[in-house]
A and B are shown apart, each in its own frame.
Chain A
Amino acid sequence: MIAVVDYGVGNLFSLSSSLKFLGLDCVVTNRKEDLLAADKIILPGVGAFGDAIRKLNETGLTDTVKEQAKLKPLLGICLGMQLLFDKSLEFGEHEGLGLIPGVVAPLSDDINPQLKIPHMGWNRLEIKKDDPIFKYFKSGEFVYYVHSFYAKDCTESVLAVSYYDVAVPGLVRKGKVYGAQFHPEKSGDAGLRLLKAFAEI
């Protein structure tokens, strides 16, 4: 059973649909019992970092997510991935979950100003470090991104990157904790294969 954490941030329809499409048992939940009972957890999210971390704290699930991340595979997606880091510089400075060392910073500070922000659309995901999550994925396949902030100072955790002037960490991992900056649930067949591999870890 995969528990998808519902903390009132973003649209979970396509994420839960994609898991169901793969024949995976999943529950969209804000209940602690479900996170304890699940064998995997997905932390989704869209929107602003500060708002999201506040909403997650309001559900009272923050400590449970942190504890469970030591015991079972957890996948943060998009903003859910950014929440895994130590802190974010989006509209001020916000503390993250601290599950992966690194900081979330604006792309606009580091890339050619001619490039459009957000980094939106399909980009190649290049594998840097082999991992079971790539069981059904070939390096260089396209995945779908929508984001304006990205993870920095996290070299040790990077599994795969996409190039948008800078190397944007696309997939990161520390221990049992994975993060995907792109949306696997919106990345067509390639994205579904990444979710399938995550479910088999």
Chain B
Amino acid sequence: MVSKRIIPCLDVRNGRVVKGVNFEGIKDMADPVEMARYYNESGADELVFYDITASFEGRRLFTDVLKAVASEIFIPLTVGGGINSLEDFDRVLKFGADKVSVNSGAISNPALISDAAKRYGSQCVVLSMDVKRVGGEYHVFAKGGREDTGLEAVAWAKCGEELGAGEIVLNSIDTDGVRGGFDMPMLRAIGEVVSLPLIASGGAGKPEDFSELFTYDRIDAGLAAGIFHTKQVQIRDLKRYLKDCGVNVRTEGIYD
């Protein structure tokens, strides 16, 4: 059977990996290529790169980083950040991305999902959702978590599935960077109605958070940034721990 995936997420700005808390307070962390190498050797199952630079110059730096990583890291790479058109898909796919994650761009133009799925296949289109509780409902936020779109998250996830997304990343703004565990109620609310592979994000603080996450069988992968970047949790140790807990994770071939 398919193993549960552990995915480190690298936010890249001006050619460097950075990290914020609750989507704010950005801090410089490391060189992305070195970090990708480290994650590849530690047994990461996939890497996600978010391009959080706004300027043209920043975008150019980002594609250089992507190309450098894709030239020597041979696990799936997902790229997100500022993807608003099929031209944006082309730009990152040409430099080694395997999947492209859409967020605000798909909210303002849902046809981006179906157009991209038609051109590149559903497996290439990842719908990323930033979700926050607003008055007893789950709302989808845009613009890096700054803007409440008013969209109800469960309905938007279903819509994304119907439009042809191949995977969904569920990022909880409420638990992001807090390291108190994944947002299980939100993940369950969406997991019950969507049959696409689901990647949980936001809130991982310790190995036990991942074992709790995977007790819910609709979740396929756990994504985190801060705890992996600081080496507070090493993926290698996390996978051994999960294996001992009876979770099916990829270990063979990465410790030789």
Interface residues of A (CB under 8 A from B): 11, 13-14, 17-18, 20-21, 46-48, 116, 118-124, 138, 140-142, 144-146, 163-164, 185-192
Residue pair A185, B195 in contact (C-beta under 8 Å) = no
Interface residues of B (CB under 8 A from A): 1-3, 5, 40, 45, 70-72, 74-76, 93-98, 120-123, 166-167, 195-197, 220-221, 250, 252-254, 256
Q: Given contacts A122-B250, A186-B74, A190-B252, could you give 6 more A-B pairs where the C-beta distance is less than 8 Å?
A: A120-B2, A120-B197, A121-B5, A121-B221, A123-B1, A142-B252
Max chain B Cβ within 10 angstroms of own Cβ: one of A47, A48, A189: A189
CA distance A123 to B45 in the complex (A): 11
Residue pair B70, A118 in contact (C-beta under 8 Å) = no
Residue pair B2, A122 in contact (C-beta under 8 Å) = yes
Chain A residues contacting B96 (CB-CB under 8 Å) are 11, 13-14, 17
Max chain A Cβ within 10 angstroms of own Cβ: one of B3, B94, B98, B253: B253
Residue pair A186, B98 in contact (C-beta under 8 Å) = yes
List 6 A-B residue pairs with CB atoms under 8 Å apart, sorted by A's residue number.
A13-B96, A21-B74, A163-B1, A185-B74, A186-B75, A188-B75
Residue pair B123, A121 in contact (C-beta under 8 Å) = no
CA distance A125 to B32 in the complex (A): 31
A118: nearest chain-B partner, CB-CB: B123
Residue pair B123, A146 in contact (C-beta under 8 Å) = yes
CA distance A120 to B2 in the complex (A): 7
The total number of A-B Cβ pairs within 8 Å is 93
A44 to chain B, nearest CB (A): 13
Chain A residues contacting B252 (CB-CB under 8 Å) are 124, 138, 140-142, 190
Choose one: A13, A123, A190; the contact of B2 (CB below 8 Å): A123
| Contacts known (A17-B72, A120-B197); A188 close to B2, Cβ less than 8 A | no
A14 to chain B, nearest CB (A): 6
| Contacts known (A46-B121, A141-B252); A122 close to B40, Cβ less than 8 A | no
A112 to chain B, nearest CB (A): 11
| Contacts known (A14-B98, A186-B98, A187-B74); A123 close to B93, Cβ less than 8 A | no
B72: nearest chain-A partner, CB-CB: A21
A37 to chain B, nearest CB (A): 25
B99: nearest chain-A partner, CB-CB: A146
Chain A residues contacting B71 (CB-CB under 8 Å) are 17, 20-21
A21: nearest chain-B partner, CB-CB: B72
Chain A residues contacting B221 (CB-CB under 8 Å) are 121
Chain B residues contacting A47 (CB-CB under 8 Å) are 120-121
A184: nearest chain-B partner, CB-CB: B74
CA distance A188 to B73 in the complex (A): 7
CA distance A137 to B96 in the complex (A): 25
CA distance A11 to B90 in the complex (A): 10
Residue pair A121, B253 in contact (C-beta under 8 Å) = no
CA distance A124 to B256 in the complex (A): 16
Chain A residues contacting B1 (CB-CB under 8 Å) are 123, 163-164
CA distance A144 to B3 in the complex (A): 10
Chain B residues contacting A11 (CB-CB under 8 Å) are 93-94, 96-98
CA distance A146 to B195 in the complex (A): 16
A15 to chain B, nearest CB (A): 10
Residue pair A141, B76 in contact (C-beta under 8 Å) = no
CA distance A124 to B253 in the complex (A): 11
Chain B residues contacting A18 (CB-CB under 8 Å) are 74
CA distance A120 to B125 in the complex (A): 13
